[in-house]
Amino acid sequence: MKPAYFLTHLKKDLQLEWRSKDAINSMLFFALLVVVLFSLAFDPTRAVSRQIAGGILCVATMFAAVSALNQAWARELRNQVLDALRMTPAPGASLFLGKTLANFLFVTVVELVLAPVFVMFYNLHALGNAWLLLLVLPLGTWALMVNGVFFAALSIRTRNRELLLPLILFPIFIPALLGMVMSATAILTGEGDAVMWIKLLGAYDVIFTTVCLMLFEVILHAE
Amino acid sequence: MTSIIAEFDEVSKLYGTFAALRKVSVQFERGRCYLVLGPNGAGKSTLLRTLAGLLKPSYGKVRVFGDGGEAEEPMEARERIGYMSHATMLYDEFSGVENLRYFASLYRGRDCVAPEEALRRVGLDPALERPVGQYSQGMKQRASLARVLISRPELLLLDEPFSNMDIASAHQMLRLLETFRSEQRTILLTTHQRELAEPLADYVLTLDAGAVASLEEGPYAKRGGLGLAAATAGAAR
């Protein structure tokens, strides 16, 4: 796969999002709402916050990301652009990788905005190595995006695709979600082995990225 | 000697139990223009999409570019085929030239027409900054044809290229298609506006209920290959 093709697709997706800001706006609004509502509903103490914050952050990101993933291929479906892309010599894997990285960047932007709000509302102070969160969030986000973009492509020809995507995606994402939550909780509470969970996340990312890249060409040209 | 650029051999295409194509066997010669006619649901679009490699036949074989060596399946030779559908196949949010630059960059290393030149050839201003979503239907059709042109395809498949076009734009597109044929490119076009496209046709292929109803010599071939200008002059007399 030539990197030039991948960069072309990535640039296109970033340009399209820059003009509409559809994905980022919808994700940001949804994630902020979840974080604020949970904070108001439970009014957690500092100790409880450390226990539940990792889970809330991951689940908020996950649900927010699904709203964007449902639209990940919408622009390609409209006007049959996907057919035009299928007819070019550019490999399908580059299209997949470009779209995955673009969506990864959109979710990362949302997480960057969400993080200070999260710390403020949940009165968080990590007792473990806080810098490890810089590994946990990108690895977990990539796991979500690589599967999300793949399964969104798989479900584009189905009628109930907005329902189907979370139904397929969430069970597959459970090991990564577990890795994300457990490592984040370990970092925030200072208890448990965060590194082991981060390794699991890394392995999950490598395996699923490889499998998705190998299978995407088949998905792209399926009728 | 005529060379065969594409060939359908007993091709059937099923959607569930519905047969969109039924045992279609037909050969297309290089450098000819084929007008594909038939009522709605006759299988015109399915024929073109199968030839473009976007659909796989349920039965039978489709072979393309066998005249230059070993015949390939359309899927393997899709970069040599240009396909224009009912839809624009362009991003609504990008301008015409942005769309074409994007597609041209996906044909990296190939001898492509410059996006600006492709737009000029179809009569669009490359400096137009308006997104394609705000174009008129006729402009969208032209931008769509420009996208097909950038890769210099040997086989052009045009599904309803004149729909929503005013008569002047349609004639401009016809003249453009005539220049493609003079460059030895093969054109297959479907339309419901038979009288408009017929002067360009070497052959008229009529489909009915997914089967070939007839394949007749078209007016262009009968005129001995004289162009549209001759047809127009003839009509005036």
Task: Read off the CATH number of the domain in which B21 is found.
Answer: 3.40.50.300
pLDDT at A1: 63
pLDDT at B50: 95
Lowest mean pLDDT among A37-51, A102-116, B125-139: A37-51
Report whether pLDDT(B68) > 70: no
In a domain, B97, yes or no: no
Q: Give residue ranges of B with CB < 8 Å to any A CB.
A: 52-56, 75, 78-79, 81-83, 85, 87-94, 98, 102-103, 105-108, 110, 147, 151
Specify the pTM: 0.89
Q: Chain A residue with minimal CA distance to B57?
A: A223
> What share of chain B in percent tops pLDDT 70?
92
pLDDT at A190: 83
Confidence of residue A120 (pLDDT cuts 50, 70, 90): confident
Report whether pLDDT(B159) > 70: yes
Count CB neighbours of B203 within 10 A: 19
Give the SS3 label for residue B33.
Answer: strand
Q: Chain A residue with minimal CA distance to B98?
A: A12
Query: Is B85 in contact with A5 (Cβ distance < 8 A)?
Result: no
Residues of chain A numbered 13-52 and touching chain B (CB < 8 Å): 15-16, 19-20
Mean pLDDT of B147-152: 93
Confidence of residue B74 (pLDDT cuts 50, 70, 90): confident
Instruction: Tell me how close the Cα of A222 comes to any Cα of chain B, in angstroms.
Output: 9
pLDDT at B229: 55
Confidence of residue A172 (pLDDT cuts 50, 70, 90): very high
> What share of chain A in percent tops pLDDT 90?
51
Domain map of chain A by residue range? 3-220
CB A142 within 8 A of CB A204: no
Instruction: Tell me how close the Cα of A156 comes to any Cα of chain B, in angstroms.
Output: 16
Q: Which of B93, B103, B105 sits opposite A16 (nearest CB)?
A: B93
Confidence of residue B163 (pLDDT cuts 50, 70, 90): confident
Q: Chain B residue with minimal CA distance to A15?
A: B94
Mean pLDDT of A163-187: 91
Q: Does A222 touch chain B (CB under 8 A)?
A: no
pLDDT at B14: 95
In a domain, B128, yes or no: no
Q: Which of B54, B90, B103 sits opposite A88 (nearest CB)?
A: B103
pLDDT at B119: 94
pLDDT at B146: 94
Number of domains in chain B: 1
Residues of chain A numbered 46-85 and touching chain B (CB < 8 Å): 75, 78-81, 83-85
Nearest to A205 by CA among A156, A135, A117: A135
Owner of token pair 């066997």: B25
Q: B169 vs A217, which has greater pLDDT?
A: A217
Q: Write out A49-89 in H/E/C secondary structure.
A: HHHHHHHHHHHHHHHHHHHHHCCCCHHHHHHHHHHHHHCCC
Query: Is B106 in contact with A88 (Cβ distance < 8 A)?
Result: yes
In a domain, B104, yes or no: no
Q: Does A89 touch chain B (CB under 8 A)?
A: yes
In a domain, B131, yes or no: no
Q: Chain A residue with minimal CA distance to B101?
A: A8
Q: Quote the CA–CA distance of B121 and B144 in Å, as a whole number.
A: 12
In a domain, B108, yes or no: no
> What share of chain A in percent tops pLDDT 70?
100
Cα separations in angstroms, B124 against B108, B118, B132, B151, B199 = 24, 9, 12, 18, 25
ipTM of the complex: 0.88
Q: A35 vs B47, which has greater pLDDT?
A: B47
Mean pLDDT of B83-96: 94
B37: domain range? Answer: 4-89+155-236
Predicted confidence (pLDDT) per residue in A24-34, tens digit = 998 999 888 88
In a domain, B144, yes or no: no
pLDDT at A39: 82
Q: Chain A residue with minimal CA distance to B132?
A: A79
For chain B, give the mean pLDDT. 88
